[in-house]
Structure 1
Amino acid sequence: MKKKCPRCSKTFNCRSDNLFECGCMHVILSADDYRYISKHFDDCLCPVCLTQIKTERQCSPKLPAAPPLK
């Protein structure tokens, strides 16, 4: 299913119906990353944004990731 990423507004294919084929399954996130994403976003993020959030939070683990892109 096509979705619009709430962080970057780009369209991406979400395969929440089959997680083994979903692009987000290739981005390994920590429990803290999941909590941060759940707190700040109501829907799926594209794999690019998931990777960016993971990288930003690894570089500055005490700081939240940058606000959503608009």
Structure 2
Amino acid sequence: MAKHEIIPCERCGTPIECKANSYTKCQCSVVHLDLNEVQYISENYESCLCAACLFALQQEYRDTIGS
């Protein structure tokens, strides 16, 4: 049985184990976002995102500002 809640990624729907109370053990902690990237993502999403989506959105933001 999972110790933490299993929730869908808000962007792709992939089931992820939310460890908001143990952030350093959460799958999303591998993505290092700067303040501007966090703001960009939070403008479009309110809930948890999987690491793959966070990486994709980080790259989307970097591509946007690189134009």
Q: Which TM-score bucket, shorter chain as reference?
A: 0.7 to 0.9
Q: Does 1:47 align with 2:51?
A: yes
- Paired residues, what number? 63
Please give the secondary structure, in 2, of the residue aligned with 1:7: coil
Greater Rg over alpha carbons, structure: 2
Q: Does 1:32 align with 2:36?
A: yes
Q: Does 1:61 align with 2:65?
A: yes
Contact 2:28 2:50 in 1 (8 A): yes
Q: Distance in 2 between matches of 1:26 and 1:9?
A: 19
Unmatched 5+ stretches in structure 2: none
Tell me the TM-score normalized by structure 2. 0.81
Q: Which runs of 4+ in 1 moved over 2 A?
A: none
The Cα of 1:62 is off from its aligned counterpart by 5.8
Identity of counterpart residues, as a percentage? 27
Q: Does 1:21 align with 2:25?
A: yes
| Letter in structure 2 aligned against 1:37 | I
Unmatched 5+ stretches in structure 1: 64-70
Higher helix fraction (1 or 2):
2
Contact 2:7 2:16 in 1 (8 A): yes
- Aligned CA RMSD, in angstroms, stands at 1.6
